[in-house]
Each structure stands twice: as structure tokens, then as C-alpha cells.
Homo-oligomer: A and B are copies of this chain.
């Protein structure tokens, strides 16, 4: 990695996807498919999604595919899939994290591997991105569990700052299909233009984020962004095709796809 004058001259990036979101009799996501194209995975830890059987299987699959393995802890809201904001106190956030990271770590160890990173899920991700106090508690919790863990967080978020401050390695995450505000935050999904539907445009934006560290915000201005990892989805066949396409185009352009631990 070589950053000079705010310009990211990088030719390497991570592709990450949420996996292991099935639960009991419920199957969600085309894990086997998307695992072929990403370099890191975020595995649900049994609170907003996932269960011990799914976690064991998913860890084994991720190891087999030589992927960077991350814990994907969420709020205790299975029926809401962890997507609803909850007024969780900082100390609760801390202990919820420790619990879920610990559970997934044990599965990693029994499979002879270990965790690369932590990425929060859904409402937990969103609230910690925006709340400095919560972000600080979360960073401390991750540090206390294992200071070797990488924090995968929304580019430019409070968690990026808090994790760097405490001494953790950080990977900043960007979205291929989302519009950005001039301050680097994501344009709310409730607003028009928040989602980039044109695949070619989305991929061009990703390339520029990776290679130049720049993205055109929704107001037309160019802003700086660190694109260490690109969040992609494996919910359905179309989504998986898009991941495949992103990977092919990035590689065709000379960009390497690697787990974040290899370059952070």
C-alpha cells in the first residue's frame, strides 16, 4: 500500500461478503457460490442470523476456500435480522461483541484456523459507524478480545477512527452500488439515487476508489475514500453474477483480489 498526498496508488483490494446467515431449517444466501469470488467472509454468530451448525459448516467452507475469516456480530434481534436500531448501552455492546466473537473463534480453532477480522452487522454496524462513544467501546472490546484482529468498518466512520486510535489495524469498506454524500457517508436508501443500478458504472466507480482513492459524490464533487475492501452480496444468482463480474473486471484491470490481512 502506498498512499501519497491523499491519493491511493494501490492495485490490491479485498472483496467481502456476509455468509453463514442460514438458521436451522432456514436457508439464506448462496454461500457456496459467492465464496468462489470473494477474498474475505463475514460469518454471522447466531444472534441476528446463523446457528452453531451453520457456523461450523461455514468456517470449514471458508477455510477450504482459503478466505479471510471474519466474525459478523449483530444485535440480539433474530426476527428483525439485526436490522433494527436498538438502544444498546456501550457496555452491552462490548459484551455482546465479546460473546459472539468468542463463539466464532472457537469454531475457527476447532477447524485449525483463526479469525482475520470483525465486521459488525446491520443496525449494529450503522449505529457504531455514527456514534463515537459506541465506536470507542466497540474498538476497546475487540482490542481486549484479540489485538491482532482487523476491524472492517465503513470508510471514514467513527469506528475507523476509534479502532485506529486504540491501535487496531483497520480495513475501510466501500460499496459498489451505493451513492456517497460529500462528507463520505452513504446516501440514505430512502433517497432517490442512493443505489447505483448501472453495473458498468458501479464497477468503474469501484476501480477508481481502489486505484485513485476517489469517488464522485452525489453532488458531483470528488471526494477521497479509502477502499480497502468492497462489500458484495450473495443473496441471489444475480447478485453472485455481479460479484463474479466485479472480480473479473478488477483483475482484468490489474487489481489483485486478496484477503485484507495480506495487505493491511
Contact = CB atoms under 8 A, between A and B. Distances in A.
Interface SS of A by simple majority: helix
Interface stretch (A99-107, A129-137, A255-263): A99-107
Contacts of A55: 95, 99
Contact of A102 (B81, B91, B106): B106
A181 to B, nearest CB: 21
Contacts of A99: 46, 52, 55, 103, 106-107
A92 B44 CA distance: 17
Q: How many copies does the complex hold?
A: 4
Nearest to A96: B52
24 contacts: A23-B23, A23-B78, A23-B79, A24-B78, A24-B79, A24-B81, A25-B49, A25-B83, A53-B91, A53-B95, A56-B95, A76-B79, A76-B80, A78-B78, A85-B87, A98-B106, A98-B107, A99-B103, A101-B106, A102-B104, A105-B106, A109-B145, A109-B146, A110-B141
Nearest to A78: B24
A252 B213 CA distance: 69
A9 interface: no
Interface of A: 23-26, 28, 46, 49, 51-53, 55-56, 76-81, 83-88, 91-92, 94-96, 98-107, 109-110, 123, 141, 144-146
Given A23-B26, A98-B106, A98-B107, A86 B77 contact: yes
Contacts of A88: 84
Nearest to A53: B95
A76 B211 CA distance: 45
Contacts of A53: 91-92, 95
